[in-house]
Structure 1
Amino acid sequence: MQTAVIALVLVSALMHASWNAFLHLSGDRVSLLGAMSLPYLVLGALGALLLPLPASASWPYIVLSSAIQGAYCFALVRAYRHGEFGQVYPIARGLSPLVICVAALVFAGETLHPLALGGIVLVSFGIVSLAFKRDLRFSAESVPYALLTGLLIAGYSVVDGIGVRKSGNAFSYVSWAYLLWNVPQLALLHRLRGGWSGLLTSRDETLRGVLAGTLALAAYTLVVFAFRYLPIAMVSALRELSSIFAVLISWLFLREKLTAQRIAACALVTLGTVLIRI
């Protein structure tokens, strides 16, 4: 069972890197974010109608997770405004495993084997190092938002890791979390853009947003499911293999350079993953 859950987390990692690439490439990220909300709302509504309500003990976590997820989306959009995909993504994703490890210990009482802990450190260090290059130029606007994004990732991961275990049904939990997050988010974006015509600006952009949203919700649904069976910090660190996929995407499709330093960083992340699995 553990091997199957880990495999699902790795699939989630590929999906996560893919939808972030869509967001980075978009010429209108606010419009894309609005379109991304649509599959979340559909899935959330279906889950709310067809599945039993989550246990009452999980509702504070659902509400808190929804608020943090909304803040995360806006921080990520701001980070991508001036930063490279290959720089913003590793900073945001690399910070979260270590923060999650500490938070899971404090709030969920989770402890890890020293090998797994060492693996998480290697994963975080390897991911963050992906952001560094020889002609280093950090954007004064994008980097603070990338760091904030990393903290928000850690926040909703720990909240969901605890909440889903109290819910009684992982899919019911994410359905309500998706609704409570995306209804106000879409309403706010709709108002900021002055209506649907200003938000969903073109058919192609809307379709890209729906595809990105479908990838994003599938990716995180798999992660929340995995939280029920594996420690929060372990799942989060394994999920950060998405950074290796992000490097490959940036090299193959965004024409960003694949340097020896980035290859070495990917090797560190892979080694850390092996230690976690052991």
Structure 2
Amino acid sequence: MSDWIITLEGTEAGHRTALLLALSAALLHAVFGALQKGRFDPWLTRGAVDFWYLLMALPVALFVVPRPEPQLWLIFAGVWLIHTAYKVLQAMAYTRGAYTVVYPVVRGTGPLFAVIGAYLIFGEVFAPLQWLGVATLMTGILGLAAYNLVHVRVNRDTLNAALALAVITGMLVAIYTIYDAYGIRSTPDPFTFLAWFFVIDGLSFPIPAYLRWRAMPQRPEARGLLLRGFIGAIVAFGSFGSVMLATRLDKVGQAAVLRETSPVFAALIGWVFLKETVGPRRLGLMALIAAGAVIVETGG
């Protein structure tokens, strides 16, 4: 598998594969976001997810993939710091504001920062038409957040703090996207980076989440929480793994923008599975997001 990925780098087939990987990451990230919504405290859900993907990735890292090169350990230290900060801020935002408002703001601010970062770090340049696509996509995502903001009826007293945290979290999404792309490009075998990424990233939340669960006067049932964490870990492998492979095969900024079509998939999941009403305005905003992604893909 590693050899096949490497042969695709810099080719037209690699570009098409990166496109499919980025869109798959968008779909799976929407599923991942839906798993963090509702039934359980987001801190507990995140801890359960991290516990499972640490447990599943560790034997692969130790016995399947090649050993990491010495310089990767410093990169992994940065991975732990950046992703831990991202997860803490995201959980803080989710506990202060409605998911339907916070999630689009996080995803809507990320693409702009990611494209700028890809230019500064990797020298990637977007064509003028692609910038129009970024603006179109961000208008749709942030418009969706604004629409939900008007209609939301919960957590109104903490919503301003939630929105501020969501914007900062969006910046961290861009930072980790750029940093992870740098990391996966720093090793000959991309799956070495991916396996150890999930081990390192899985270290931060399980113990704090367990302590939070123990301190609750009414603890949620552990079996259901662990089951949701197990499903979330499987989805996370696909979501984060797909986008990181996409950034190795093709432009980082383009993969980051396409990944942020996830609010479209999130709305579709809400409509089909959660029986949420979509309505013409939300459909129009989702069409803007999709149109922005198409312009970015075709405008280069």
**TM superposition score normalised by structure 2:** 0.84
CA distances 1:5-56 after superposition (whole Å, capped 9, x unpaired): 2112212211110111110123332322221013321333123212112334
Q: Which runs of 4+ in 1 moved over 4 A?
A: none
Partners of 2:26 and 2:297 lie apart in 1 by 16
Residue 238 (structure 1) aligned with residue 238 (structure 2): no
Alignment counterpart, residue 222 of structure 2, candidates 175, 178, 202: 202
**Per-residue deviation at 1:237?**
0.5
**Per-residue deviation at 1:232?**
0.8
Alignment counterpart, residue 19 of structure 1, candidates 11, 32, 45: 32
Alpha-carbon spacing, 1:54–1:113, altered in 2? closer, same or farther (3 Å): farther
Question: What corresponds to 2:16 in structure 1?
Answer: 3
**Per-residue deviation at 1:271?**
1.3
Question: What corresponds to 1:65 in structure 2?
Answer: 79
Alpha-carbon spacing, 1:127–1:147, altered in 2? closer, same or farther (3 Å): same
Alignment counterpart, residue 55 of structure 2, candidates 8, 22, 42: 42
**1:1-278 aligned within 5 A:** 1=13, 2-49=15-62, 50-133=64-147, 135=150, 139-194=159-214, 201-278=221-298
Does structure 2 conserve the Cα–Cα contact (< 8 Å) formed by 1:190 and 1:199? no
**Per-residue deviation at 1:225?**
0.8
Partners of 2:69 and 2:289 lie apart in 1 by 37
Alpha-carbon spacing, 1:127–1:166, altered in 2? closer, same or farther (3 Å): same
RMSD: 2.2
**Per-residue deviation at 1:136?**
5.5
Alpha-carbon spacing, 1:61–1:200, altered in 2? closer, same or farther (3 Å): farther
CA distances 1:188-210 after superposition (whole Å, capped 9, x unpaired): 33344449xx9884212210121
**TM superposition score normalised by structure 1:** 0.90
Does structure 2 conserve the Cα–Cα contact (< 8 Å) formed by 1:241 and 1:269? yes
Task: Report the AA paired with residue 234 of structure 2.
Answer: T
Q: Identify unmatched segments of 5+ residues in structure 1.
A: none
Q: How many aligned residue pairs are there?
A: 276
Say which is worse superposed, 209-218 or 183-192, in terms of deviation: 183-192
Q: Identify unmatched segments of 5+ residues in structure 2.
A: 1-12
Does structure 2 conserve the Cα–Cα contact (< 8 Å) formed by 1:86 and 1:256? no
State the SS of the aligned residue for 1:248: helix
CA distances 1:49-74 after superposition (whole Å, capped 9, x unpaired): 12112334443332212211112122
**Per-residue deviation at 1:256?**
4.0
Alpha-carbon spacing, 1:86–1:256, altered in 2? closer, same or farther (3 Å): farther
Does structure 1 conserve the Cα–Cα contact (< 8 Å) formed by 2:184 and 2:190? yes
Task: Report the AA paired with residue 10 of structure 1.
Answer: L
Does structure 2 conserve the Cα–Cα contact (< 8 Å) formed by 1:124 and 1:269? yes
Partners of 2:80 and 2:270 lie apart in 1 by 30
Taking only the aligned residue pairs, the percentage that are identical comes to 28
**Per-residue deviation at 1:259?**
3.1
Task: Report the AA paired with residue 11 of structure 1.
Answer: S
Alpha-carbon spacing, 1:275–1:179, altered in 2? closer, same or farther (3 Å): same
**Per-residue deviation at 1:229?**
1.0
